[in-house]
Amino acid sequence: MTNLNNRYEYVKAFEQPDVLLPNTWIVVRIDGRGFHKLTDRYNFKKPNDRRALDLMNAAAVEVMKDLPDLCIAYGVSDEYSFVFHPSCQLFERRSAKLVTTIVSTFTAHYVYLWGTYFPDSPLEPPYLPSFDGRAVMYPATRNLRDYMSWRQVDCHINNLYNTTFWTMVQQGGMSNTDAEQELKGTVSSDKNEILFKRFGINYNNEEEIYKKGSVLYRQYQLEDIKPKSEPNPGVLAEEEGNYVQEAKTSRSQQDKLRKLRRKAQVVVDHVDIIKDEFWERRPWILSGKPGKLPTEA
């Protein structure tokens, strides 16, 4: 029988490698599949359903805990972006393995926790939530920062639109079509004005989770912001780009880092990640090196 197996085993040669380029940031973004239909069936509240967002965040926290190699995650609506550091060697950086592990772990917790967040709307198969995902590489830290900014700007744009649209419909009694029509071509200030003048709503007072989305990271002691020195383009940052070598020489070092990261608490924040401040006070996110654990008073 072993012979038989050998006879067929050649099919393994068709598997093609999908290792991601070393020393690049890896962003795994997952998106809800057909969530429009899902939000209808389970009566999600418009424009934002707090239970749904809390459920997304709870599932994402579990993913962060399960995979200490993740250094930050950002969620908005039914999407979530998980970020691996350039030094990450998890699963030898195989793309499909990284993406499916995150998608599956997220889905498992999302389904498992559903009843906690939607006690009155039990899941009804075949209408179960599911997610697709993909991995994208970003070579420079600037590119990663810009990716994160892109998602948060997108969050803002969509939330301002949705808040205005659903206020016009729900409080203003307009039809969906009319509201859509009126909003066509408007800019941010127009929408702010509609909200304020017609409905007395100051958009700035909306909840931060809706306006900023959710940022997940491991909590260490915040650092003070140092005055910036002049950057010298001719000088190479010492630490940059030697991850490959390090990874090879000290796998045990990687395990140590993982253990340290597991000790840190994963926090859910709703803050600006476009400006430098967030990143400068939490240097461990971009450096990939754990900070000091917060001391108890």
The C-alpha atoms of residue 135 and residue 179 are separated, in whole angstroms, by 36
Among 46, 51, 54, 141, binds its own copies (CB under 8 A): 141
Residue 267 touching its own copies (CB under 8 A):
no
Among 120, 248, 252, 297, binds its own copies (CB under 8 A): 248
Residue 259 touching its own copies (CB under 8 A):
no
Residue 230 touching its own copies (CB under 8 A):
yes
Q: Is 228 left (phi over 0), alpha (psi -120 to 50) or beta?
A: beta
Among 150, 171, 221, 259, binds its own copies (CB under 8 A): 150
Of 207 and 240, nearer to its own copies (C-beta) is 240
For its own copies (CB under 8 A), the number of binding residues is: 97
Per-residue interface string for the shown chain with its own copies, residues 89-128, x marking contact by CB under 8 A: ------xxx-xxx-xxx-xxxxxx----------x-xx-x
Among 131, 210, 217, 278, binds its own copies (CB under 8 A): 131
In the chain, the amino acid numbered 100 is: T
Of 166 and 279, nearer to its own copies (C-beta) is 279
Least Å distance between CB 99 and its own copies? Answer: 6
In the chain, the amino acid numbered 208 is: E
Among 173, 185, 187, 204, binds its own copies (CB under 8 A): 187
Least Å distance between CB 20 and its own copies? Answer: 9
Least Å distance between CB 297 and its own copies? Answer: 27
Residue 66 touching its own copies (CB under 8 A):
yes
Site for its own copies in 8-27 (CB under 8 A): 8-19, 21-24
* Annotated binding-site members for Mg(2+): 31-32, 78
Q: Crossing angle for the helix pair 176-183 and 141-170, nearest 10 degrees? A: 130
Residue 184 touching its own copies (CB under 8 A):
no
* Annotated binding-site members for GTP: 31-36, 77-78
Per-residue interface string for the shown chain with its own copies, residues 188-227, x marking contact by CB under 8 A: x-------------------------------------x-
Among 118, 166, 199, 279, binds its own copies (CB under 8 A): 279
